[in-house]
Amino acid sequence: AQSVAQPEDQVNVAEGNPLTVKCTYSVSGNPYLFWYVQYPNRGLQFLLKYITGDNLVKGSYGFEAEFNKSQTSFHLKKPSALVSDSALYFCAVRDLDSNYQLIWGAGTKLIIKP
Amino acid sequence: DGGITQSPKYLFRKEGQNVTLSCEQNLNHDAMYWYRQDPGQGLRLIYYSQIVNDFQKGDIAEGYSVSREKKESFPLTVTSAQKNPTAFYLCASRETGGGQPQHFGDGTRLSIL
């Protein structure tokens, strides 16, 4: 079965430090991977995606993600965290078995401390 | 600006009552989705539609119904059969094409009176 996991419920980072939010996946074919961010009482905003090509994908708000096929991971990163980055982050993978719907991770709460 | 509009932002349901959540998009997207979000959980798919006049059940369709009479609109009805409807409901749409991301509205928070 295809799946995606976000192993950390919460990540705490000091402002100005680099941040990483982890995501691992399990799919039978080539993965289409996505990262979204959600601020309180708002919808999800698309950050970036990996379809094919360069393993380092750049997205919105200075975020980037590294696709690692051997480790089946797609970790979200940012070189220098801002307090305004504090939010809920979701990783998702396209489900090849179910009409190309998305399989969602449970989400990781990112807290950036001043 | 193009986008997805969900209304109302907050909704209260009485026992035995059906309520309808509105979702309208002006992005000209073919596919539309309804998700339910509970605290501490990820998104769960309720229904989706890939074309007008066609829709499919997602993982938790029981107690919900939808229609897709127009490309722009995909309303969700929470029926009295849904015994635990309190949640945050999110509507999304997507262009056709496997790599296209979903775009989300700002949600409707439904509570029981």
Does B42 reach chain A within 8 Å, measured CB to CB? yes
For B103, the token pair is 């775009």
Residue A18: partners with Cβ closer than 8 Å, 6 or more residues away: A77, A78, A79, A80, A81
List residues of A whose CB lies inside 8 A of any B CB.
32, 34, 36, 41-46, 49, 51, 90, 94, 99-102, 104-107
Mean pLDDT for chain A overall: 94
- Tens digit of each residue's pLDDT (9 = 90 or more) over A4-60: 999 999 999 999 999 999 999 998 888 899 999 999 989 999 999 999 889 999 999
Question: Of residues B63 and B96, which shows the higher confidence score?
Answer: B63
Cβ contacts below 8 Å, chain A against chain B, sum to 51
Tally Cβ neighbours within 10 Å of residue A88. 19
pLDDT of B1 above 70 = no
pLDDT of B111 above 70 = yes
> What's the pLDDT score for residue A72?
95
CB contacts of B25 in chain A (<8 Å) are none
- pLDDT, average across residues B31-47: 92
